[in-house]
């Protein structure tokens, strides 16, 4: 009973910990969803290391109840410490607020953030496994499945409790302490109520009680500690931070200017007329008489105030899904900067932009997008062919669409030029007239034939007629920005080079450009290698992967026989499943745009599926005479699921306006986890059926290491280079290739 309870608590803590670490990492890595792959890879590696070390120790000396209690206590204390460490890393590594994290720092931070907690989690799993195996008469393989099921069930319970109870009411740090108190309290109660006497019971009771007291003290001071941790994270000028269903929001104040950061990225500053004036007036001056304006994405009060200066505007619709952002700004920013909110022409819609566009009935003279640079899927989704098509449908005849991307005013570098060329080509797929104007930000204007003006005199005349009082965008600025030589230079930059990629929802270019930039930062040779992989060598990526798996199959058959084939299948399945999990998280972000909250539900139901699938697999394996056949069917089912997911995601993209899209993705995660649990149970049964040791620790390690490898490959290569559909196809083919190793062994697997 005790090992089952402890492993349930370990799974509970690990699930909550994984969700919290992923959420904190999204803030630290500026919402880059592929950073979740690096975090998950480090998570698996450290968990495998802890399990391996503890497993070796327990073989020499079997784990006792006292050791389990100590392990649970160490695990519970490490969770709040991990949250504090992640928030301190920006200061430790000297990363200024709003600055992108280098690839080396990202890997180091992900590794250090997961090291202690995951090592303790893996060690506790191995100790529980050892204790269960030494205290039962049943086979070790079945015990392995029992421990595996208990951990997965605990993980599902922890994730769901966090999603429905802790997330809406508590900060991340307070949630970590509540989780630690639950673990320490249950461990102490179970040990106190146990009638069994064993050596070290009293010290274990004292230790569990001490851990419980420490956690209660941390909870009492949690608000102060949380605020201090945020100040360390953001540095000088930090005012306040909140978590919403969509983002982590933080306000910094320096010299009377308030800067809002969203998931670590700078969003806007208040006041900041030097940025707000060009963002508002350049697109509005493109239209001869704008009457209705749509502002998409995160917006600043200054931008709204500048838009409302144009006398002909009757309606300004602002679409901002995060309903808590304006309330947060009102709490921090002086009221004089938010006077615009009382203007009757202003209408704020708290909807996802795609959902708003699907239901909007009116048409707009000008649509301005302020979504920020496409550095992650949340922002990249606003720069795709699919999104631009929706924008075009909302423009009235002669309407103008505009957005701006950070650039260079004079000389544009090759990698920045590649991104700008991609955006220009993507716009060309939808709009007949497209103009890009260079500057500190490259301004794009798009519309129907003749709707975009190149002549600065036209814009100057409109500015004078409207009587606009503008400080930083004057006549001479317009003459400079729209100088024919500058426009010609920009057109030459955007027209240069071949193989320009069109940005699509499920082929996001932001990751590819980010990958090439990272490679160049590490070493020029690595940068050139990444560029080759993303260009001419793109087709070789899947070929090399499949060839490598076939080579591993041959080696495993010759060197290790059935044990090697089964372990290889488990590793490849682990890789395929973690790819499915990352794809579901990324696809939900692309379709819905609100991953910060729902990542908890997706991870929770994925873990719940492991428990369900493990139970189903154990039952099937007991009744089936051919265990390897069950393993092959499980492998094939994972491959088939990956293939079926490709058209399913396309269908879901068309129904992005549905409120239930989050529930659908949660169900998809549950089903994927079920297939993973089924495969692991079948692998353990197949190993025992081949007359091999029924000990499942090596299969658990293979599963973890395969998952780690899959997370790295998917994040750094497959998703940026191949896109989501091809990544799913490669995952399916890899699983089928690995299953070749178990053919011809069915006679022994009985």
Q: Is 53 exposed, middle or buried (0-12, 13-18, 19+ CB in 10 A)?
A: middle
**Residues 362-390, mean pLDDT to the nearest whole number:** 86
Q: Are residues 540 and 501 in the same domain?
A: no
- Asked whether the whole model's pTM tops 0.85, one would answer no
C-alpha torsion sign, points 7, 8, 14, 17: negative
List, for residues 52-89, the tens digit of each pLDDT value.
Answer: 888 777 766 666 777 888 888 898 899 999 999 998 88
Q: What pLDDT is stored for residue 425 in this prediction?
A: 92
The whole domain housing 116 covers 1-220
Q: Are residues 556 and 494 in the same domain?
A: no
* Weakest-pLDDT range from 304-313, 487-496, 588-597, 718-727: 588-597
Q: Are residues 500 and 608 in the same domain?
A: no
Query: Residue 472 carries which DSSP code?
Result: S
User: Could you tell me if residue 230 is inside a domain?
Assistant: no
Q: What pLDDT is stored for residue 695 in this prediction?
A: 53
Torsion, Cα 71 76 81 84, to 10 degrees, reads 150
DSSP string, 219-287: HHTHHHHHHHHHHHHH-TTEEEEEE-SS-EEEEEEETTEEEEEETTEEEEEES-HHHHHHHHHHHHHTS
Q: Are residues 617 and 657 in the same domain?
A: yes
Q: Are residues 70 and 216 in the same domain?
A: yes
575, two tokens: 């890789």
Q: Is residue 153 predicted with pLDDT exceeding 80?
A: yes
719, two tokens: 């998703």
| Residue partners of 489: CB distance under 8 A and separation at least 6 | 438
**Residues 127-143, mean pLDDT to the nearest whole number:** 59
User: Could you tell me if residue 625 is inside a domain?
Assistant: yes
β-sheet bridge partners, residue 238: 252
When divided into structural domains, the chain yields a total of 3
Q: Are residues 82 and 142 in the same domain?
A: yes
User: Could you tell me if residue 203 is inside a domain?
Assistant: yes
Q: Are residues 299 and 193 in the same domain?
A: no
Angle in degrees, CA 113, 114, 118, rounded to 5: 150
Q: Are residues 126 and 89 in the same domain?
A: yes
User: Could you tell me if residue 485 is inside a domain?
Assistant: yes
Q: Are residues 293 and 406 in the same domain?
A: yes
**Residues 182-201, mean pLDDT to the nearest whole number:** 78
When pLDDT is cut at 50, 70 and 90, the band that residue 658 belongs to is low
């Amino acid at each position: 009973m005790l090992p089952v309870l402890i492993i349930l608590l370990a799974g509970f803590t690990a699930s909550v910990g994984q969700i919290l670490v992923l959420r904190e990492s999204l803030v630290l890595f500026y919402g880059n969803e592929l950073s979740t792959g690096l975090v998950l890879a480090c998570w698996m590696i450290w968990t495998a290391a802890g399990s391996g070390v503890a497993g070796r120790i327990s073989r020499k000396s079997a784990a006792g109840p006292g050791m389990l209690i100590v392990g649970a206590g160490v695990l519970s204390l490490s969770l709040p410490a991990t949250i504090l460490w992640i928030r301190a890393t920006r200061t430790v590594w000297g990363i200024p607020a709003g600055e992108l994290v280098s690839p080396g720092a990202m890997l180091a931070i992900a590794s250090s953030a997961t090291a202690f907690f995951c090592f303790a989690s893996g060690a506790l799993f191995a100790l529980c496994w050892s204790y269960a195996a030494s205290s039962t008469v049943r086979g070790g393989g079945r015990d392995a499945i029992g421990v595996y099921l208990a951990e997965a069930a605990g993980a599902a319970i922890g994730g769901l409790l966090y999603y429905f109870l802790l997330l809406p009411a508590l900060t991340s740090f307070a949630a970590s302490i509540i989780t630690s108190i639950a673990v320490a309290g249950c461990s102490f109660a179970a040990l106190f109520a146990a009638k069994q006497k064993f050596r070290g019971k009293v010290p274990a009771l004292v230790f569990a009680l001490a851990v419980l007291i420490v956690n209660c003290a941390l909870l009492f001071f949690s608000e102060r500690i949380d605020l201090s941790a945020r100040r360390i994270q953001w540095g000088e000028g930090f005012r306040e931070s909140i978590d919403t269903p969509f983002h982590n929001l933080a306000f910094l104040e320096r010299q009377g200017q308030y800067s809002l950061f969203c998931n670590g990225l700078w969003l806007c500053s208040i006041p900041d007329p030097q940025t707000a004036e060009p963002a508002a007036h350049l697109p509005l001056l493109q239209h001869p008489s704008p009457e209705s304006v749509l502002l998409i994405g995160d917006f600043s009060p200054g931008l709204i105030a500048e838009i409302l200066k144009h006398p002909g505007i009757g309606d300004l619709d602002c679409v901002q899904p995060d309903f808590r952002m304006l309330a947060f700004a009102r709490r921090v920013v002086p009221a004089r900067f938010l006077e615009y909110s009382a203007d009757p022409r202003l209408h704020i819609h708290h909807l996802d932009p795609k959902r708003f566009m699907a239901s909007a009935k009116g048409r707009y003279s000008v649509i301005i997008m302020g979504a920020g640079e496409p550095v992650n899927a949340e922002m990249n989704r606003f720069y795709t062919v699919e999104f631009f098509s929706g924008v075009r449908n909302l423009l009235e005849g002669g309407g103008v669409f505009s957005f701006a991307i950070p650039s260079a005013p004079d000389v544009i570098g090759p990698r920045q030029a590649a991104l700008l060329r991609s955006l220009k080509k993507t716009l060309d797929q939808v709009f007949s007239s497209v103009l890009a104007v260079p500057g500190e930000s490259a301004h794009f204007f798009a519309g129907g034939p003749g709707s975009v003006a190149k002549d600065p005199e036209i814009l100057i005349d409109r500015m004078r007629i409207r009587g606009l009082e503008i400080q930083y965008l004057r006549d001479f600025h317009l003459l400079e920005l729209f100088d024919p030589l500058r426009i010609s230079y920009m057109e030459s930059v955007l027209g240069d080079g071949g193989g320009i990629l069109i940005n699509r929802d499920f082929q996001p270019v932001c990751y590819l450009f980010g990958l090439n930039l990272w490679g160049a930062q590490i070493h020029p040779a690595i940068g050139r290698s990444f560029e080759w992989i993303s260009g001419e060598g793109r087709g070789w990526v899947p070929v090399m992967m499949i060839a490598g798996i076939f080579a591993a199959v041959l080696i495993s058959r010759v060197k290790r026989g059935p044990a090697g084939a089964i372990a290889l299948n488990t590793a490849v399945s682990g890789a395929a499943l973690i790819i499915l999990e990352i794809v579901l998280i990324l696809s939900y972000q692309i379709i819905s745009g609100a991953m910060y909250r729902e990542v908890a539900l997706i991870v929770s139901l994925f873990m719940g599926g492991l428990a369900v699938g493990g139970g189903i697999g154990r039952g099937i394996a007991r009744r089936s005479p051919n265990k390897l056949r069950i393993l092959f069917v499980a492998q094939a089912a994972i491959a088939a699921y990956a293939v079926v997911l490709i058209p399913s995601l396309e269908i879901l993209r068309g129904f992005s306006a549905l409120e239930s899209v989050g529930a659908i993705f949660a169900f998809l995660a549950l089903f994927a986890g079920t297939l993973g649990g089924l495969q692991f149970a079948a692998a353990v049964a197949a190993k025992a059926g081949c007359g091999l040791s029924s000990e499942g620790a090596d299969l658990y390690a293979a599963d973890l290491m395969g998952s780690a490898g899959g997370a790295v490959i998917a994040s750094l290569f497959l998703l940026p280079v191949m896109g989501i559909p091809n990544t799913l196809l490669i995952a399916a083919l890899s699983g089928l290739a690995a299953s070749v190793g178990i053919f011809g062994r069915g006679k022994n697997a009985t």
